[in-house]
A and B are shown apart, each in its own frame.
Chain A
Amino acid sequence: TQLLEQSPQFLSIQEGENLTVYCNSSSVFSSLQWYRQEPGEGPVLLVTVVTGGEVKKLKRLTFQFGDARKDSSLHITAAQPGDTGLYLCAGASAGGTSYGKLTFGQGTILTVHP
């Protein structure tokens, strides 16, 4: 069974601070996705990383896929109250009968205080 350990589970910071969320696994994934979920809504995709070592930037958000495709990180620079939400990482299975199946991390609840 593939597992994704996401940390921290909770993060409460002040506006303007930087933060990093981590996702780690002992399994290799074909891709790693980051979703953001707001209360009362479903998760919405932020980014997909596919290649080991890949770095993608989305305004103040920087996503990195580990070289071995087993881990990923999300870094937010100068967090704003609008960044508040639940962040989920999800790995797509690399092969076998579960090819493409997404395994989600436990999620990080981020609160940015003005």
Chain B
Amino acid sequence: GIQVEQSPPDLILQEGANSTLRCNFSDSVNNLQWFHQNPWGQLINLFYIPSGTKQNGRLSATTVATERYSLLYISSSQTTDSGVYFCAVDSGGSNYKLTFGKGTLLTVNP
């Protein structure tokens, strides 16, 4: 099956800093999503982005499908950005089964 690798596995920032999280995948995809899991365990969808660039406030994401990677940018980080960021992909079919990476643990210190 498709492989999903995220880097870095851990990241520690000071409040106000910028960061880039990366997701590499091993096959072509028709669905790529970024999720944030907060420290209480809740998972929230950030972006559906199989290709191109999207922005939502301080967060933006870019997927270069031809080169099989996606980047999540966090600007002016806040302590509430802390948590685990997951990339998940679906390589085809109509069942939208996602394969998740192992995540990037982000800690933003005040």
Q: Do A and B bind each other?
A: no
